[in-house]
Amino acid sequence: MKIFGIDPGSDRTGYGCVEEVGNRHQLIICGYLSAPPGATFPDKLHVIHAGLAALLTRHQPDCVAVESIFHFRNVRSALKLGHARGVALLAASEASLPVFEYAPAEIKRAVVGYGRADKHQVQQMVKLLLGLDAAPAPHDVADALAVAICHLQSRPGSAAVRLRAELPPSAPRTWRDYRP
């Protein structure tokens, strides 16, 4: 199964495509989309939509996983993020792909094992899970890959779900429970 993860942002939208090969995750492509400095907000949205549409056409994923909106103190930032999410969802819809949304804490819990993990921890775990030489950067790229990994590990029948079901009740479920 091939998942395309998106971390929407109005200035920089991270993306990453991950494929499940047996019990492992394999990186297909990752990066970010951003408009040139000084671009108008509508131009930024156009760059996000056109870039994602081209990437989805080129890589033909089975579905798209997107980070959902969380609470903002700044309403203006939340609205801009909502617009960026909207054009990302539109690109997925135009490609006739199913879309799955995950909250930031849910993504961190699936990838790191702790819902309040910081950006550096997410980057390092994505590096380990995908067998990369370096942590993906900037953090928008790592977050997009984490969304894709979260979907792969959360769907019914995945190796991670089967493994969790097979663990005895006393087995550690997260890194916080582990005792050597």
Catalytic (active site) residue 133: no
- Single out the catalytic residue among 7, 106, 133, 143: 7
| C-alpha dihedral, 136 to 22 to 52 to 64, nearest 10° | -110
Q: Which residues are registered as beta bridge partners of 30?
A: 16
Please indicate whether residue 11 is annotated as part of the active site. no
DSSP secondary structure code for residue 107 in this structure: H
Residue of 11, 140, 143, 166 marked active site: 140
CB 161 within 8 A of CB 149: no
Which residue from 53, 54, 55, 80 is spatially nearest to 69, judged by alpha carbons?
80
Beta strands 24-33; 2-7: pairing state: unpaired
List the one residue out of 35, 12, 16, 11 whose CA is nearest residue 132.
16
**Is 62 a known active-site residue?**
no
From CA 171, how far away is CA 12, in angstroms rounded?
40
Catalytic site residue from 67, 101, 106, 133: 67
User: Which helix (H) or strand (E) element contains residue 17?
Assistant: strand 13-21
Task: Report, as residue numbers or ranges, the catalytic residues.
Answer: 7, 67, 140
